[in-house]
Chain A
Amino acid sequence: MKVFFGKHGFILILVAIFVLIFGLGGVYSRFMTSELEEHIEENATGAEYALYLEMFPGADTLTPYTPGEVSKTYPLAGGRGDFAPTVDKALKILQGTSEKGVVYVINTKGKEPMKVGVGISLENDACVGIAVLEQNDTPDYFSQLGDPFYSQFDAKALSDLALAVDTFAGVTYSSKAFEIALFYARELYAADYDFVIPTVAMTLVKLEYNFDPTTFIASPYIANIIYGDQDTEAAVMLSASFDYVGLVGGGTDLEADFQAAVKALAQGAGTLNTQANFVSFDEENNTLVMQTKGYNPNAIQASIVLNDTLDIVVSITFVSMETYANQGGYGDYTGGPAPAVENNLRNQYLADGDPNVDGVAGATVSSNAVRSLLQLLDGFVEAQNGGE
């Protein structure tokens, strides 16, 4: 043995060092990688927390806590069914030892899943800010949400019955995500703190399109409601953002609480497709202008000529349309340039009168947009009842 080590000891030591370095080096490398991941996460968390602290001037500390369990569902924009938001985490915001507010990080959904942080002040029970942490909505649309949109969350009283988010024109899906987050945050806040969500006795019986050409521009929707202690029935005209406009046929306006309630109920109903709307109506020429939103922020606009009794569509001409080129959603589209998709669907409708036309392969979003327009148009034509 002594002779063996005398002869080969040197190489054995070299091999031992090699193995030692291999093992310890592996541990060191693994340590470095895990530390790096931790640093990145810490930094991301730090940046996120800085956003929350900005919402509460003077605040200096955040403390995670477990919020109360709240299960609610809300309708998604575009009639895509209901969605149940979840809370990712909740943080108490402190100034020294004094609790100033709370932030709920909520998984909501616009066109795609979105994660936002909603800051609520304990001093006045108001939303004081909202921070977008993750979102995957269509960039062309989402980027339109600027300061004017976000500033509405800077001091939004949770006692407001409607608590509605003013949607940015054409960015309905993403706007809805913020509204869902805000509603859900209010529910969480009510479960965690001494706050009561205001309620009004009202039932939304029916929400439908307004097909009266004299009023449908300013009031595209009509809500049939039953409200108050006396179960009073009313038909209410609503704006594109579901704001109260007035009663159908005139009369004394509803009280402010009921106006807010009807807006909240109409917004939450999610039963109407708000993708298409009327733009104008030329009574002399029986020409209706409508628009709808597809993949592209530029609306698809159509000029529709009707017969004298307004119950037959004579022609549909697209005056502005979707741009197919350079749009991420048109990867599989192999048809002609715009307005090929629009014309295809129009021709189907004019041929058989059915607004539920077949979409064009590879242009699903544009097809859905045009289909919505045709369905609304068809509803309008049917509602004219022979022009009577």
Chain B
Amino acid sequence: MARFAGGKAPFLRISDQPNQGTGIIMRDFMIGLAPVILFSWYKNGIQVMIDGNIGFFEMLYPLIFILLGGLMSLIMEGITLYIIHPDSRSLKGVMAKLSTSYPMVPGLLLAMVLPLYTPVWVLIFGCFMGTVVGKMLFGGFGHNIFNPALIGYLTIAVTLTGVINAAGGVFNASEVLVDSYAGATPLTLLSRIKELDYDKLVAPYGTLWNFFLGTIPGALAETGALAILVSYGWLVYRKVIKWFTPLIYVGTVFVLSWFIGIASGEPGIWFPLYSILSGGLMFGAVFMATEPVTTPRNPLGKVVFALFLGVFTVLFRYISTLPEGVATSIVFLNIFTMPIDNWTAVIRARGIKKQTAIKASVFAVLFIALVLYAILKAGSMYTAFIQGPIGIGGWF
């Protein structure tokens, strides 16, 4: 059934009303980032200084690094605007454009998903790739196809991981002294040992409670599940993001991981919890899968997008050389945002009828096929799964 706005005309644009515009959304988004930024600073700076492992200036680094990311993105966007818009080559002209384009967000998000000891020049390079290449070359805010922060992140991950590791890598000065970590984050460990064993995957980092609090090794801000949930609550409350997008995304990974665990002879709920609390899944689900420009705009589109994100994340975690699958899956699905948006808008407006059944079927078939493939690919990682009673690992 077609859906139209009810009530009497005239219909006013909400964004034109006081306290409802883009600037307010940006403000709320920045407030939403604050708990995660502060957690990151606490975990990688303040707590490490309390442990006696770093000094004052090292303690400040995580905070400065994240803020620098935002600042560099702002500067790069300002310079780019100056270059490509000769008619607005003034402070006022550039500021007017910057005020509505979320210029700091790509850099902030990028810095938050990078390891602590990433050299600043690498961050600047990532900001350039994200802001200039991923955003401005597509026409700026509202026109970019890919999530700018993730363009920067993936470029760095592919080309400069060695540089980051040589500079100190992902472990803060307290974590680097913990023998049980053995130089690996939880997901790196999983990709190394390829075995579902609580004692090997979780115990080295404490318990799942540590995973929830975020006191485990990982990129600057990605580990703080609790802080991310606080941000999620705020952003949903302020209606900056839809509540169901992160929930469906994380939920899909949870269910798929649980199934993989069961098929591998490890039915405990610890593995799905481990899967959603490890790496950047929670962070990506709340701050990147909800990005308004590069993801579908209608609710059904968001649901479909989130479902596919969950499947692709699991898939990329087990078939990619990178242990993390969040960034790759979001950027990959950004390509399909427009068709998903268009098709789901039609389905949503007309309901499941003859004309829309094919489109819905395509989504359903694709989804089921990918789910099966993801489970099989993940299952092939584990001997128990291949040799287990189900034996579906032998199909391929």
Contact = CB atoms under 8 A, between A and B. Distances in A.
Nearest to B53: A39
B58 A25 contact: no
A334 interface: no
B173 A39 contact: yes
B94 A10 contact: yes
Interface residues of A, number: 24
Contacts of A39: 53-54, 173, 176-177
Q: Mostly helix, strand, loop or mixed at chain A's interface?
A: helix
Given A10-B90, A40-B177, A28 B64 contact: yes
Contacts of B120: 21-22, 25-26, 28-29
Interface stretch (B31-39, B67-75, B240-248, B335-343): B67-75
Given A25-B120, A26-B120, A32-B117, 11 more contacts: A7-B90, A10-B94, A15-B79, A25-B68, A25-B121, A28-B64, A29-B167, A33-B168, A36-B176, A40-B176, A40-B177
A21 B168 contact: no
Nearest first, the 9 closest Cβ-Cβ pairs linking A and B are A25-B120, A29-B119, A10-B91, A36-B168, A33-B167, A11-B82, A29-B120, A39-B173, A33-B168
Interface in B175-219: 176-177
Interface size for chain B: under 10, 10 to 19, 20 to 34, or 35 or more residues?
A: 20 to 34
Interface string A30-47: 111101110110010000
Interface in B301-324: none
28 contacts: A7-B90, A8-B89, A10-B89, A11-B82, A14-B75, A14-B78, A14-B79, A18-B72, A18-B76, A21-B72, A21-B75, A21-B124, A22-B124, A28-B57, A28-B61, A29-B117, A29-B118, A29-B119, A29-B121, A29-B167, A31-B58, A32-B61, A32-B168, A33-B117, A33-B119, A35-B55, A35-B58, A36-B176
A80 to B, nearest CB: 33
A17 interface: yes
Contact of B121 (A8, A14, A26, A37): A26
Contacts of B123: 25
A28 B176 CA distance: 20
B94 A43 contact: no
Contacts of B173: 35-36, 39
A8 B121 CA distance: 26
A31 B65 CA distance: 13
Interface string B91-121: 1001000000000000000000000011111
